[in-house]
Amino acid sequence: MVRPTLKTTTVTMILAREPLPKTTAIQLFKSLFLARRSEEYIVKHYPENQMRTPMHMSMGQEFVPVGVCAGLDGKADVFASYRSHAAFLAQTHDTDRFFSELYGRTSGTGEGKGGSMHLAAPDQGHMLSSGVVATQIPVAVGAAFANLRLGTGRTAVAFFGDGAADAGVFWESINSAALFRPSSLSAPTRTRTTAAMSRAFIPWRRKRLRRPTATVARHSSTSSAADTSSMSASARTGTGDIATRRPSSATGSVAMP
């Protein structure tokens, strides 16, 4: 029996366009560490039945919200799904209100009534977490449009998983963003199905929707931060890498497999 010869292709992946300052790199590590250790604490103590709320972990996905929130330097309005722990902590670094909400205390983000799936701290830039798949995406586009009209200079960010990319509201929101040109970023957090989607659909769609995109190296918060910073600047100043009918108000979109 003759076995077919397999061709091996070696791909070199650049994790960051340029080295980040040491202080920035340390801050990224601290944010990653905070998100991971917080969820490890939840996994360890949840069986004690004191956190009376459904939980959805995001271990392995922390690099996306950590990098994106760091790249926007506090000028982000974050909209997350029910898998919101990493996104909330990356934006706010507020463990007191975070755990108070999980334990049902009045000092929590929703006075103990929202739980894990409905974390919200608008005063700190985390606008909401939605318990229904994909529903945070159109709200983020609406907030981005409001920022555009009000001239706030802020960028609306929607974090979502691969299931949301199959929802009709996802493409409707992308179409609306392409039409109104607000400053918005779409950031998938899953690493398999979304990777295939970003390779197959996003480059094809961006030619028709005229939306700049960037594919960031997997599990790299440094690349997420660097690309988010540049894409957000392009979105606010109209210097995106894709030609638009109205270049003075171009929209940035980041795809992160």
What are the pLDDT digits (tens) for 135-154? 999 999 999 999 989 999 88
User: What is the predicted pLDDT for the residue at 162?
Assistant: 83
Domains in the chain, CATH or no CATH each: 59-249 (3.40.50.970)
Quote the crossing angle between the two packed helices 85-92 and 95-102, to the nearest 10°. 150
Report the pLDDT averaged over residues 174-192. 72
Tokens of 69: 């929130």
User: What is the predicted pLDDT for the residue at 180?
Assistant: 81
Question: Is pLDDT of 110 > 50?
Answer: yes
Give residue 57's identity as a one-letter amino acid code.
Answer: M
Instruction: Please report, for residues 61, 69, 157, 171, 232, the alpha-carbon distance to residue 143 in angstroms, rounded to integers and kept in the order given.
Output: 24, 17, 9, 17, 15
Q: What is the DSSP string of 110-139?
A: TTTSS-GGG--BGGGTEEEE-SSTTTHHHH
What are the pLDDT digits (tens) for 43-95? 999 999 999 999 999 898 898 899 888 888 888 899 999 999 999 999 999 99
> What is the number of alpha carbons within 13 Å of residue 33 lying toward its C-beta?
6
Report the C-alpha gap between 231 and 76 in whole angstroms: 13
What are the pLDDT digits (tens) for 208-221? 555 555 444 445 55
Residue 87, SS3 per DSSP: helix
Question: Is pLDDT of 179 > 90?
Answer: no
State the maximum Cα–Cα separation within the chain, in Å, rounded to a whole number.
71
Report the pLDDT averaged over residues 215-244. 52
